[in-house]
Structure 1
Amino acid sequence: MTQLLLAIIYLAFISLGLPDSLLGSAWPTMYQQFGVPISYAGIISMIISAGTIVSSLQSDRLTKKLGTGKVTAISVAATAVALFGFSFSHSFWALCLWAIPYGLGAGSVDASLNNYVALHYESRHMSWLHCMWGVGATAGPYIMGIALSMGQGWNMGYRYIGIIQVILTSVLIFSLPLWKGRTEETEVEELQTDQAENGKKVLSVREILKISGAREVMLCFFCYCALEQTTGLWASSYLSLHKGIPAETAAAFASLFFIGITVGRAISGFVTMKLNDIQMIRLGQGIIVAGIVAMILPGSNILAMAGLVLIGLGCAPIYPCVIHSTPAHFGADKSQAIIGVQMAFAYIGTMLMPPLFGMIARGISVALLPFYLFAILVVMIIMHELLTKKTA
């Protein structure tokens, strides 16, 4: 039963990844149809991210009240409804409206499942869990590309993903009995026991930020998620508008970034047996540099596509290794509080930085994407090195 439940959790993370990359792959077609500036993708992205922040902050309360299984099923169902809403939208403001449940559905399931796996499964499953997110994030643009190439429009791309989400919701509902062995009461008891053993009060955000190295790790996480989400949102537009690749082809090629993340996280689960978290993060940052350089170099479009794969491979180990290294940097008694704030900074980076590049793309040129990513990466590297030095 334990292994079957783990398989269900993996499916749930695939469902979490499926919608995440749809907007970026479809936007080159969508913004022309709605007659809005290309930068307006940032508005939708901000609404989705804001919803994700709100629901993630409420995930602890919801999980204690409903249990992880029900929270997951409800969240995936909310996302399915939002996807169908997108598919039937005929105005930009309708997209903004449906973006609200789109974001609300993502935050709770993300935080709840990450916590559940951290509590009940071995650490390698965390890398492979996020690998399953990559499977969904890779499949999303590919399905959208098929819909566009067949002349069915972006609406049908969203509708196809919505149908898949409905199927996954049904699977999650039928799997609810599997969660009964780990009820919400059990999870609450474990949390209370952990707090009693640590003998620590709940830290406020101000108290957390005063801890040596805390600000650096928050900014490092902010930069990572900003880089990942900016690449995912704007890669298709970069290929289409700057490299001259047809929109339907660019939508499919944009999935190469998520393929890199997916393959990289599958491999990372094994490489972590040889390298520690700090080494894995530095390795990932170096690979991202190589990917950005490949995007900038003139010549064949193959270089740009190879760059997206490399950026994805570089991103792969950073997210799980930053989370996993938190207890080593700050101690087990503070790690839970710090990880919670890390997630908040991650969503803030996701909410602010992709729209900021949208303004740059509108005012100057989408060709600046690699330089924008490099600037974020430099800040991330500096913050991580300062974190390592301060917590050594």
Structure 2
Amino acid sequence: MATVFLIIIYLAFISLGLPDSMLGAAWPIIRLDFGAPVETAGLLSMIVVAGTIISSLASGMVLKRLGTGMVTFISVAVTALALLGFSYSSSVLWVAVLALPLGLGAGSIDTGLNNYVATHYKAHHMSWLHCFWGIGAMLGPILMSRYIANGESWRTGYFAVSMIQFALVVLLFFSLPLWKKAGKSSSTQAAETLAEVDSGPGAAPAAGNVLRIKGVKLAMITFLFYCGVEATVGLWGSSYLVNVKGIAPATAAGWVSLYYGGITAGRLITGFITFRFSNRTLIRGGLVISMAGALLLALPLPAVFSLVAFILIGLGSAPIFPCMLHETPARFGQENSQRIMGYQMALAYTGGAFLPPLLGWAAARSTFMILPPVMIGYIILMMLSSEQINRMMNKRQEEVSL
């Protein structure tokens, strides 16, 4: 039963990823239909993430009252309805109105499932969980590009994805009784996982104000810029390829899907190599690979190198987010992890909400050629924050060993 339950959790994360990448992939066509300026996509993205932030901040109370299973079911249902509404929208205003419930549907399920897996399962399950998010994020633009290439409307793409979401809603409804049973059966594994976490050298004592724990604010900064990179490339990658490299919109949407494919494949691989390498090593390696991709994107090379760059950025991004999440109890203590996890997710959503629109606003007034250097800057800031946390953890380990 535990295996079946894990599959259901993974499928729920597909539903999170499906809509995340669709707006950016379809925006070059959507904005022409509505006569909207290019930076409007950034505003719509902000509304989606604002809804996600609101629901994630309320997730503690909601999850306690309804339970993770019911919250997951309701969240996917809300997402499915919002996507169905997108397919019938007659103006940008309606898209903006529906963007809020789309975001609200994501926040509680994201926080709830991340915390559930972090506290009940080992590191490879966290990577594979986010691998399934990548599958959804990859399928979104693939479906959209297929419909656009066949001469159909972007609305058909949103309708098809909403139907996939409704199928998941049905599955989640019938799986609701499994959540209580799975919670009992996984208690032993959870105890083993938390025992490993609490014994880590980075564990910190309980604190009234967790923000005072050394490294917490730096971790939040890392989450901020990580989601800034991921969301910015996802939202504006297609526009960069169309406006700077002269690639057709359908092809550009397909290439962006390969960026998410890089994230997906990377997280699948990461799940296996967590058996041999620490979270810290995987985070560092991911940042280096992402930097290589951003540098390649910045070079004045033929368009095909942009595809390679997107894949490299995706591969490098793959281990960063799940490994940072799973490292939270080891860095700051299991007794503090739930609150710190919430703060980290809030900053992650903030990065996804504000950094992509900021770039869109700047690009609309200059050029999309600014995308690569901005990505390089974000990755440098992540590297500096992450390495500073590592130094703090090493110092703490030395103090404990004395």
Aligned residue in 2 for 1:299: 301
Secondary structure of the residue that 2:259 maps to in structure 1? helix
Distance 1:335 1:83 in 2: 33
Distance 2:294 2:255 in 1: 16
**TM-score w.r.t. structure 1 length?**
0.93
CA contact (8 A) 1:202 1:337 kept: no
**Structure 2 CA distance, aligned partners of 1:105 and 1:75?**
4
Q: CA RMSD in A?
A: 2.1
Q: Which residue of 2 aligns with 1:370?
A: 372
Query: Which ranges of structure 1 fall in alignment gaps of 5 or more residues?
Result: none
CA distance in 2, matches of 1:4, 1:257: 29
Q: Secondary structure at the match of 2:229?
A: helix
1:172 alignment counterpart: 172
SS in 1 for 2:135: helix
| Other structure's SS at 1:19 match | helix
Q: Which moved more, 1:10-19 or 1:290-299?
A: 290-299
Cα offset, 1:183, TM superposition? 6.8
Quote the residue 2:49 is aligned against: 49
| Rounded Cα–Cα distance in structure 1 between residues aligned with 2:283 and 2:178 | 35
TM superposition shift of 1:390:
2.1
Q: Is the 8 A contact 2:2 2:182 kept in 1?
A: no
Q: Give the length in aligned residue pairs.
A: 381
Q: For structure 1, which segment, 94-103 or 32-41, has the greater mean C-alpha deviation from structure 2 after superposition?
A: 32-41
% same residue: 47
Q: Secondary structure at the match of 1:299?
A: coil
Residue of structure 1 in register with 2:397 after alignment: none
> Corresponding residue for 2:97?
97
- What is the TM-score with the length of structure 2 in the denominator? 0.91
What CA distance in whole angstroms lies between the structure 1 residues aligned with 2:173 and 2:334? 34
Q: 2:356 aligns with which of 354, 357, 382?
A: 354
**Cα offsets for 1:327-371 (capped at 9, x unmatched):** 332223322222221111111111110000011110111111111
| 1:134-153 alignment, distance < 5 Å | 134-153=134-153
> 1:8 aligns to what?
8
C-alpha separation in 2, matches of 1:271 and 1:53: 32
Is the partner of 1:244 in helix, strand or coil?
A: coil
Shift of 1:288: 0.7
Give the corresponding residue for 2:28.
28
How far apart are the structure 2 equivalents of 1:359 and 1:47? 15
Q: Give how far 1:119 is off.
A: 3.2
Q: Deviation string for 1:76-128 (max 9, x for gaps)?
A: 01000000111111111111100011000001111111122223333311110
> 1: distance between equivalents of 2:276 and 2:7?
26
**Cα distance between partner residues in 1 of 2:22 and 2:311:** 18
d(CA) in 1 for partners of 2:182, 2:67: 8
- Note the alpha carbon deviations across 1:312-341, whole angstroms, 9 max, x for none: 000001011112222332223322222221
The unaligned stretches of length 5 or more in structure 2 are 395-402
Task: Write the letter of the residue equivalent to 2:341.
Answer: I
1:18 alignment partner, SS class: helix
1:75 has 2:75 as partner: yes
Q: What does residue 341 of structure 2 align with?
A: 339
Residue 276 of structure 1: aligned partner: 278
SS of aligned partner of 1:151: coil
Bigger Cα displacement from structure 2, 110-119 vs 261-270: 110-119
Contact 1:67–1:183 (CA under 8 A) maintained in structure 2: no
For 2:268, the aligned partner's letter is A
Is the contact made by 1:290 and 1:310 (CA closer than 8 Å) also made in structure 2?
A: yes
Distance 1:120 1:224 in 2: 25
Rounded to whole Å, the distance in 1 between the matches of 2:328 and 2:178 is 31
Query: Is residue 259–residue 314 contact of structure 2 (8 Å, CA) maintained in 1?
Result: yes
Give me the whole-angstrom Cα distance separating, in 2, the residues matched to 1:170 and 1:325.
Answer: 34
Aligned residue identity for 2:291: V
Q: 1:27 to 1:70 in 2, by over 3 A?
A: same
8 Å CA contact retained: 2:5, 2:182: no
Which secondary structure state, in structure 1, belongs to the residue aligned with residue 122 of structure 2? coil
Matched, 1:288 2:290: yes
Partner of 1:330: 332
- CA deviation vs aligned residue, 1:240-281 (integer Å, no higher than 9, x gap): 111100011111111111000000000011122222122111
**Counterpart AA for 1:180:** K
Matched with 2:399 is none
Q: 1:311 aligns with which of 295, 310, 313?
A: 313
What letter corresponds to residue 385 of structure 2 in structure 1? M
Identify if the C-alpha distance between structure 1 residues 353 and 259 changes in structure 2 by more than 3 Å, giving closer, same or farther.
same
For residue 36 of structure 1, give the secondary structure of its aligned residue in structure 2.
coil
Alignment correspondent of 2:223? 221
